[in-house]
Structure 1
Amino acid sequence: MWAALLVVVLLVACSLPAVTVLMIGSGREGADGASSESADPTENPTTAAARQLAERIGAQLNRQAAALLDGDRAGFLAIAETAAARTELRRRYDSLRALRVARWVASPSGLPTRAGEAGEWRMRVSMNYCFVTASCQLSPMVVDTRWSDGPEPRLLEIERSKPFPDVLGQASGQPGNVPWEISELTVVVGKRTLVATVREHRELLPILLLQAEAAARVADRYAVDGTPPDRYRVFYAGKKEWQSWYGGEQPEWGIGTAIGIGGGHHEVVLGPDSLYYGPYLDQVLRHEFTHAATMHDGYWEDSAWWLVDGLAEYAAANGQPIARYPALAETRRLVRGDWDGRFDDLYPTAEFSDEEVNGTYGIAYLAVGYFMERFGAERLLPFFKAVVHQGRRPAQTSEELLGVPWSELHKECVAYIRKAVR
């Protein structure tokens, strides 16, 4: 059903975009990339000991980062003390190398705390990384770990990342359970995209790469800040992965979503049924890639939803006539029925039926189509940025950026939508 194709992008609004962690360096820098502060003679001895342990853990993490970037699997695994930790690290190493990790910065976050057993400590670790392009903005995450103390601390356990409402004190969070933590991935990389899946589905990668590259060329046109993503990242999930990647909270009817992971990056996840939608998969990819090209790491108001998904739907249509819009019938019924002409309360909720959701997406698509026809992308995208990224109301910014009062624009846009669905 087209409902499934449209409803799924609602997850973009619900996913927690992660934060930007400012770290500068070649990709091997870490906790001891700068000189340690001198010990405070008045510092509590217990705190001093914890700080020194954190520095030793940081040194281990730096050596591990160097091994990862050098392709030294044995060096990457060398910090592990237990078989379980080695197994976890081996899977992560293989997937990260397949994803062409280009920068990796890991360091202790805060101070360690006792784990209960003598000589064992818990330590939250900050990891920041780039794939393919070393100059990309780092994507951050934090994970919990457990270590044994010593001159060179050894890793006892590394947990998978969990959803956090904030990361390192910033205002946005991380989704948790990213694919390379959970699965051994097979990856292909194109000029504009990175496409990954598990081994069982590796035969799908060539066609997915072809479709993703085509979708990227469309989404690039809508980069709000003028610079498209360095790579659009696509992860094709089998049934098992669909229930585990990024927390596994995707709805049963979903076939894809774009999830903010920080560093200005959004990763697109295609569900196990996505390939059964034939030509519509191209539209799904264009839609989700446009989110990756237009969204930022911060939060945005529900009242701006019509712009967020309207622009993605407009890009997904890729110039096709309105008459060919797949959800036009549902849009017509909603416009002729209960729609009150407002845009700020269009955001679909869980209580909406498939038909209602399709109709709201259709209204958003037509609304953005009106603005595109009248103002073009060069004027609409700054308006999008003001409303979605900066949280300004259309009434506060339409006259400044578009030269027309919002009351006039809104009235004309509603008339355009009603005429389009006659």
Structure 2
Amino acid sequence: MPVARARKRRWPRWTALGLALGLVAGAVPGVLLRELAPDAAGRPAASPDRRGTAAERQLAERMVGQLDRQGAALLGGDRTGFLAVAEPAARPALTKRYAALRALRVTVWRPAAGGVPVAVDGRPGEWRLPVTVGYCFVVPGCAPSTTGLGTRWRLVGEQPRLLAVEPSRTDPTGVRPWAVDDLAVAVGKRALVATTPAQRAKLPGLLAQAEAAARVADRYAVGPPPDRYLVYYAGRAEWQRWYGGGRPKWTAGYAVGVGGDRHDVVLNAQSLAPGGVDDLLRHELTHASSLPDQGYADHADWWLVEGLAEYAGTDGQPVDRYDGLAEVRKLVRGDWAGRLDALAPADDASDDRVGGAYGVGYLAVRHLVDRYGEQRVLDFFRAVVHERRPPAEAADEVFGDPWSMLHDDCVAYVRAAAG
């Protein structure tokens, strides 16, 4: 996630600091734990809520049966059937959701009860049921992403009728764009780009840039690359609403884990200079290709996670052309103690401090790549970030050199490059 640089771009640290990791109180995520793993049939597993009475379980089954019929209509392109399970008051919002999901080329939609129905206080005959949904876009055979939804129902005789579908209050990733807004979508071979209808004219250019960035990000995949990269281009209002909003002012983009070994990417249209979109996309899509589904466990690994994404973002340009060298110089001449594992900026850090931290991470990774090659650096990344092994152990195995020496060499390289 990039930080604000007035002359070119904003580079936020968002992508690296995962809420799911519990590293910093109040930190908001760029990388989140997947919500609920799908079961063997590809449905999201139900949460361990109380089992309820036999009558409650039977009612939940009837509600999910209605959602199954709705899902089949969605996949079949039958809008009338999609709306048929709902009361008239629910249909305008559901019509919007149907259109957005169809534009995203939904290929899998598997609802499951996340508990048992609970009667709504003061409204006889109304019930709430938490639901999880496994879904895929474009690719029929993908490992589904998951999201939580709140559903509200009315019993008409024995038949549950859908009154409303609401974002889950417990979904750590926040509201998905397709759940709350109309979307215009462009689909390529490796990427989907979605935005609001008001910004539809930008889609062809954004898709071309995302396709080019995807080819770069694929090179840094740790494991199989994503089946598709999904990029949302957010206007002012959408930036505050999608995935929970609340990002720092200098945030230009972030990647958020949505399950199924997949990360959605969101770009902030309000803070992007035209010349900064390409390297931002390479940076964020590399997070999507390199990070584990469940985030990463140690704040001390920030330099490596962001350094690899910055390295990909530069796309092979010479070190002396790196946009953040001035911020790096300021950091290394200031209060930085020279420890990579203490590099991550605080939530209230200045733009210069954040930009310098990103630059140090980039230069450290660049030094390792120059010394050992990209594949061995990716092997080191896998060992540290995915397998959660100490850098000292990983360096001995992957590089055959002690981490204490390599760490000091990286810091010396950073200081020399900063001048």
**TM-score normalised by structure 2 residue count:** 0.90
Q: Name the structure 1 match of 2:113.
A: 108
Q: Structure 2 vs 1, CA of residues 5 and 279 (structure 1 numbering), >3 Å: closer, same or farther?
A: closer
Q: Is 1:179 aligned with 2:177?
A: yes
Residue aligning to 1:380: 377
For 1:190-209, what aligned pairs fall within 5 Å after superposition? 190-209=188-207
Deviations 1:307-337 (A, max 9, x none): 0000000000010011111110111121233
Which residue among 76, 79, 88 is the counterpart of 2:82? Answer: 76
Q: Percent identity?
A: 51
Q: Does 1:395 align with 2:400?
A: no
Give the deviation of 1:252 after TM superposition: 2.3
SS in 2 for 1:159: strand
Match of 2:152 among 117, 123, 146: 146
1:263 counterpart residue number: 260
Partner secondary structure for residue 219 of structure 2:
helix
Equivalent residues of 2:186, 2:207 under 8 A apart: yes
Residues 268-279 of structure 1: matches in 2 within 5 Å? Answer: 268-275=265-272, 277-279=273-275
Q: CA deviation at 1:157?
A: 1.8
Note if 1:320 corresponds to 2:327.
no
Native 8 Å contact 2:97 2:179 kept in 1: yes
CA distance in 2, matches of 1:248, 1:298: 20
Please give the residue correspondences for 1:7-46 in structure 2 after superposition, counting only pairs within 5 Å: 7-14=11-18, 15=29, 16-19=32-35, 21-25=37-41
Please say which of residues 176-185 and 250-259 is displaced more in the overlay: 250-259
1:362 aligns with 2:359: yes
Unaligned stretches of 5+ residues in structure 2 = 19-28, 46-50
Q: In 2, distance between residues paired with 1:391 and 1:141?
A: 26
1:137-193 Cα shifts (integer Å, max 9, x gaps): 1111111111122433111121123353xxxxxxxxx31111001101010100100
- Compared with structure 1, are the counterparts of its residues 30 and 393 closer, same or farther at alpha carbon in structure 2 (3 Å cutoff)? closer
SS at match of 2:286: helix
Partner AA of 2:17 in structure 1: A
Q: Which amino acid letter does the alignment assign opposite residue 190 of structure 1?
A: G
User: Does the CA contact (< 8 Å) of 2:109 and 2:136 recur in 1?
Assistant: yes
Please state if 1:155 is matched with 2:162. Answer: yes
- Structure 1 residue 377, shift from structure 2 partner: 1.9
Query: Taking structure 1 as reference, are residues 323 and 377 closer, same or farther at Cα in structure 2, changes over 3 Å only?
Result: same
Letter in 2 for 1:19: E
Inter-partner Cα distance in structure 2 for 1:178 and 1:22: 18
The alpha carbon displacement at 1:30 in A equals 9.0
Q: Offset at 1:292? A: 0.4
Please tell me the root mean square deviation across aligned C-alpha atoms, in Å: 1.9
| Offset at residue 6 of structure 1 (A) | 5.1
**Partners in 2 of 1:210 and 1:307 — Cα distance?**
28
Distance 1:181 1:12 in 2: 25
- The residue number in structure 2 matching 1:36 is none
CA distance in 2 between partners of 1:86 and 1:237 (Å): 25
Structure 1, 314-323 or 139-148: larger mean CA deviation: 139-148
Distance 2:390 2:403 in 1: 10
Matches within 5 A, 1:105-144: 105-116=110-121, 117-144=123-150
**Separation (CA, whole Å) in 2 of partners of 1:332 and 1:404:** 28
Structure 2 counterpart of 1:119, one-letter code: G
Q: Is the 8 A contact 1:256 1:274 kept in 2?
A: no
Q: Is the Cα–Cα contact under 8 Å of residues 213 and 278 in structure 2 kept in the other structure? A: yes
Matched residues, number: 395
Cα distance change of structure 1 residues 289 and 419 upon mapping to structure 2, 3 Å threshold: same
Q: Which residue pairs with 2:26 in the alignment?
A: none
